[in-house]
Every structure is written in C-alpha cells, then in structure tokens.
Structure 1
C-alpha cells in the first residue's frame, strides 16, 4: 500500500508539472501582453531544469561505502564514509544522501548524521562521513544507501536506493579481571583448599577407618576382616581447575551485562591456567566443551558477540538438562541477570550431589537487588552455594566490580 501511494504521488507531481507548463503557455498565448509572457518566460528556466532532472538517470551514480574498522567492541564509534561518483555532470541543486540504518542502530547517537542534504551542482565526486557513537553488541547489516534529488520548485523528485550490503560484528566489551577459585565448604567438615579436591577411585593408595559419608563401594572387605573393623579404601586426591559457564539467555534487563561478564570470566579463567567451557541455550543450543588456549576464547567470544536473549525455556530447566552431561569434578558457574524460585529450587536439589556451584548475578549500574532476590540469596548461601552480585561499570577504562 505504501509503494502504491508513493507511485501515485510521483505521477501526480508529473501531471501537475505538465499542467503548469501548459497553463502558463496557454495563458500567454490567449492573454497576450507583457505580464503574461513575462510569467511564461520566467517560469521556462525552472521548467527546463525540471525536465533535465526528469530525464537524468540516478543510475549514473556509482556508490561505495567503507567503515573505519573490521571489528568493534560494544561502545565503540563507527565512522562510515560514502563516496559518490558520476560521469555526467548535470547540475544538481540538492542531493539527499541517506545511509539506511537497521533498527538496532537507529537509536545510536549520531555526532555526524547518516542523512545529509548536499548541494553538489557540477561536482563529479562527492564524499560524506557519518558517525554512530556507542554501537551496540551484535551482528549488524548495512543494507543500502538512498539518493533523492529534485528541481527547485519540488515539482519533480527522483529517488534511488542502491543495495550495498555490508556485515560487521560488534563484540562485547569487557575488562581484564583476576579469577580466583573459592573454598568449598560442606556440612561435614570443610576443605580449605582454593582448588576443588576430587577422589580418583582408580588410584588406591591405602586404607583407613570408615567415616560418615564414605560410599559403600569404598569398603575394603579384606582389611575389614583382618582388623575386625570397617575399613575403607584411601584414594589419591586430584585437584580440578575446570570451569563450565552457563549463561542465562532469557529476557533480562541486565542481559548485556551478563554477556560482558561472561567474556571477562572466560578470559580470566584461561589466564589463570584452567580449562573453561560454555553452555548457551536459546533458540539455538551451543555448547563449548572444556578447553584452554586462545582458540577457545576466540570461539566463545565470537559466540557471545552474536547471542540474543531469545530463550523460551526457563534457565532452571536448561541447568537441569545440561549439567548431567559434565563430570561432577567441574566448577559450575551460572551467570544470570535475575533470580527466581524455580532456579533456586533446582540449585538446592543439585547441592545435595556435593557439586561446586556458583551463581553470579549481574546487575546494571544503580540497580538494587529486590527483597525477593535477597531472600533467595540467603537460601543459596545456607546450601553452601557461592553467590555474588556483579556490577559492570563503564568509566574511561571499563572495570568489573564484584560484591559477594
């Protein structure tokens, strides 16, 4: 319908132009005299110029666009340069040049406008720049450039849209941070190590007296018979550094903070020397198995640049479905922007397996925790689940502050 009205508008303008030319000529012929012919002769240059614009093809313009970087971080400045070249130097009184921005870039602050009116006249080469400040994270596509010109009186208007697709990716902004593994505390005693201690049941190094919590399969029946007391096998203790991150991709006001924090955590864990993986479930499911090295960071970082909060499943369901696919020796960190009852109930069930669970709750600057979230945090702490609130801040150099 919109295209129909635009076409009708163009036809109406053309008909109006022809009627105006014919009317002034007929008036001069039949009325005669100085005034009538003066009106016709005065209008004639405008009519001739409008005719030139009517027959001038905007396809004569060759259009190119460049942007100042190949890769961006969220908050960077995008500078686009549009260059127009033409072979026929028809004088153009004005030329409107507009970069057709996608919806996700429309609300960026434009220190140099992406829609400009120029007065090129006989120029054969025209160059303009526009600037978008604080581009948002994600995958963006610039689709084309719109050109509009016309005559002095607005009777003739010509428009052309040049399709010129250009894709670019904006990665999440993150700050360097230091990763430190936290102590594990259980109901029966505690371990003061900063690394999780795991029993390797394939390596028996001795026997000891039975202690509450030992598994039935650990009992050494021969030693029990010799000593007339229940004895269990002593296994070699191994230290696990591996960390599996779970990111909540449901709708949340602080989703972007969660993405930035996930990137920072991934970098920090790898720098610490540990292996790291990522579980990301939305409309698509992406799982990065435990690995180390720059290649692992590059893969996760690329994924974090593209993800959107489009999960149709509750985060608690994602955790329950995915956590059983990994070794229980792994440290599980759940990064989310909100706490709800279903998630807390799921974590309470998992805590009975003596897994190392951490919840990192991301909040935007100035956003306070609700009373409900504070009560949920108390419940998790009673279950010896580490929970911390993370506030990303963006001064001159971004930092991530943590509040346990």
Structure 2
C-alpha cells in the first residue's frame, strides 16, 4: 500500500515538475514534455477508475459429479466492455479447504491488450472424495507503468461432488439366494404364470404380455394380469460415521469404509436389490430402500458428503435403528470397531430374524487375539463376518462364498 501511495505522489510530482519547467522555460520541447506527462496521468487515472467498472468474471467446472481420483477442469471467463488496453490482471483462485494443503492456489498473470474476453483453464488433479465449493475469485489489476494497482474480490460459487471409488464385485454371499422382505417391484426378470392372482383394468404402460386375453374377450375392455407381490432381497447399509470410532486412527480408514460401502451399494444396484443407507453424522442420514437411478445417485451423493463427525455411539445407533426395521432384511454393518456392546447387539439382531453381515475395516498388520475372538464368537452366532484390510480391498472381487 505504501508503494502505491508513493507511486501516486511520484506521478503527481512529475506532472507538477514538468508544468513548472514548461511555464518558466517555455519552448516546444518543455511543453511537449508536459503534455506527454499529462497524457500519462490521464491514462493512469482512466485505468484506475475503469479497471473494474468494465470487468466481469464468470467461472464454470467441466463436471459437477466426479469419481475419487479424477481431475477437475475449471474455466474462467474474464470479459471487458471496452477494448482499450487498460493494464494487466492477476487472477488468484483460492482452493477449497480440503485441498489447501495439497496444492497451491492457481495464479495467472494476464495481459488483455485489445481483447475483450480472456479464457483461462486450469486443472485440479486427483481430487479425493468429498463435497467441494469454489468461492470468491480475487483479481488484481494495475497499469502498464506500475503507478496504480487495485484488488477486487468477485463473489462466485461453484460446487461439485466427488463420489467414492468403488470396485465391481462379482459375488456377495449375503445377498445371493436369500429371500428377504416382500414388496412391489417395477422390474421383473420374468412373469410367473402361477403367481397371477386376478385381473384389473388395463393401464397405459402395461406390457402386451401382461394382458389377460380371455378376460378381455368377454367384451368388458382390456384386462391386465395382476401378480402376487414378488419377494426380493432388501439390504440396509449401516455405515459407522461416529467421531468416537475413528479417533486416533488413520484417516484413510474411514475412506476405506466409504469405498467399501459404495462397492456394496453398486453390487446391490446391479443385482436389482432394493437397498437403503443409515448413518449418523452430525445429522441422521436415512435413505429408505429403493432401486432406481435417482435412488442410486441420492445414495452416492450422501457417500460423497459424509464425514466421521457423528456424536451418537455407533452401537447405540445400530441397536435403535435396526429394531424399527421389518424382519427378514439383510443388515450390512461397516465399522472399524468391535466393541462388546456392538457385538452383542448384532448377535441379538441376527437372532430376531435379521440377516446380519458385519464388515470390519482395519489397518492392522495382524488381527489381534481380542478381535479374533470377537469375530469367531459372532460367526458362532450365525453373523457373517468379513475383515477388510486396505491391501485386501484393492484386490477385492468376491465377498463370501466358495
């Protein structure tokens, strides 16, 4: 700021000195020098007044939904209303808080000259899972001679989600061949003729194979077969997002839990199993069972945003939430802890008719004796258990089965 103050004083002193010199000396050369300085002062004044009055900045990102590890391309468009070269621009793009420790803010010096629009592209590489917001863009401008300089913050806002990476599982025994729940489904692999329980009026969108031709031939209009409710697998995912469970642990352990959940959700979606998600972050997250494209993106949106910030103990949350669910469901529990209260709760849920599958994520080189005893005891209580290590997850294709 002092430099800018002295620069303004210098240019005013230069103008005053050339005017005094021309006034007392006279002649073409001295007045030419004065008018040259006067032109410079007018240019600097116009630059100072108009450098931001004619400037507009917009920002866009190439995608608002990405996957963990992908690159984000950001585009800045800087437009001016006049073509006259007022000076230079320095663009500074602050990064979201999660990325501030990984990369430096993008800085770029621009010389517009006679162009009315400048386009700037930059890439944020290998963005990890999360919800990101690009906010204010800071633009510094000055004249070409270095006399004046100003800074302005343009209030911009761009948001994008980075989904967790998932593995394409080929088999998960907890979901294969277990009939759980009963609900109407929009997708059928086939129509069982023996499951027809009656006929109803034809509705727009009914398939030709569903029309009951004998009933329609009686002259009462088109009739459609009405089938019994189809039993189907239903999975509810319980993701541990409590602060207590991940304190003093490797932060990557929670990322492993989220990626594992995403892989299981993708498997359930591909196999046409209705699935839901329950987690206790700062607020309760509860997505009821469903299996549509909208439901899939809704679930992954939550998996992109979730952080281990819950204050409710996970064992308490599972025990309270699971008892309100109907019998026959598959409960997939993903957690890094094996507390006695959680183990007892899972065994009790399995005895009451829920199919419980525990996924214990850990980063231990060898599983301790206490954890081994807990897993063996749960297996004896007919609770399916899987211990998932980060190295094992990278090769994961099958869960359970032979």
TM-score with structure 1 length normalisation? Answer: 0.69
Q: Against the structure 1 CA distance between its residues 282 and 197, is the aligned structure 2 distance closer, same or farther, given a 3 Å change threshold?
A: closer
The 5-angstrom pairing of residues 69-84 of structure 1 reads: 69-84=63-78
The 1-side partners of 2:395 and 2:141 are apart by: 48
Q: Deviations over 1:67-122 (max 9, x none)?
A: 22242122211111111121223324431012233212434557xx7321122223
Q: Does 1:280 align with 2:293?
A: no
2:157 matched to 1:195? no
> Please, what is the CA RMSD of the aligned residues?
3.9
Counterpart in the other structure of 2:386:
388
Partner of 1:310 in structure 2?
309
Q: Which residue in the other structure is 2:188 paired with?
A: none
Q: Which runs of 5+ in 2 are unaligned?
A: 182-229
Question: Are 2:121 and 1:122 equivalent residues in the alignment?
Answer: no
Richer in strand (by share): 1
Cα distance in 2 for partners of 1:66, 1:152 equals 29
Is the partner of 1:69 in helix, strand or coil? Answer: coil
- Cross-structure match for 2:242: 250
Counterpart of 1:297 in structure 2 is 296
- Equivalent pair of 2:133/2:160 in contact (CA under 8 Å): yes
Is the contact between residue 392 and residue 400 of structure 1 (CA under 8 Å) also seen in structure 2? no
Q: How many pairs were matched up?
A: 334
- Does 136-145 or 348-357 show the bigger shift? 348-357
TM-score by length of 2: 0.70
* Residue 175 of structure 1: how far off its partner (Å): 2.3
Deviation at 1:369, TM superposition (A): 4.9
Q: Which residue of 1 aligns with 2:371?
A: 376
* Of 127-136 and 386-395, the range deviating more from structure 2: 386-395
> Bigger shift: 352-361 or 302-311?
352-361
Cα contact 1:389–1:402 (8 A) shared by 2: no
Shift of 1:325: 0.7
Q: 1:343 to 1:369 in 2, by over 3 A?
A: farther
Gapped regions of structure 1 (runs ≥ 5): 1-8, 184-192, 199-237
Matching of residues 154-165 of structure 1 within 5 Å: 154-165=146-157
Cα offset for 1:179?
A: 3.6
Deviation at 1:158, TM superposition (A): 1.0
Aligned partners of 2:293 and 2:8: how far apart in 1? 68
For 1:197 and 1:144, locate their aligned partners in 2 and report how far apart those are by CA, in whole Å: 50
Aligned partners of 2:102 and 2:266: how far apart in 1?
28
Correspondence 1:161-180 to 2 at 5 A: 161-180=153-172
Residue of structure 1 in register with 2:7 after alignment? 17
Measure, in 2, the Cα distance between the counterparts of 1:339 and 1:369.
17
CA distance in 2, matches of 1:302, 1:263: 11
> Would the aligned equivalents of 1:177 and 1:268 in 2 still touch at CA under 8 Å?
yes
Q: For 2:152, what is the secondary structure of its paired residue?
A: strand
Contact 1:114 1:131 in 2 (8 A): no
Call closer, same or farther: CA 1:324–1:23 in 2, change over 3 Å. same
Structure ranking higher on relative contact order (CA contacts 8 Å, 6+ apart): 2
State the match for 1:85 in structure 2. Answer: 79
- The CA deviation string for residues 298-350 of structure 1, in whole angstroms up to 9 with x for no partner, is 33223222222221111111111111011232222111234445433543554
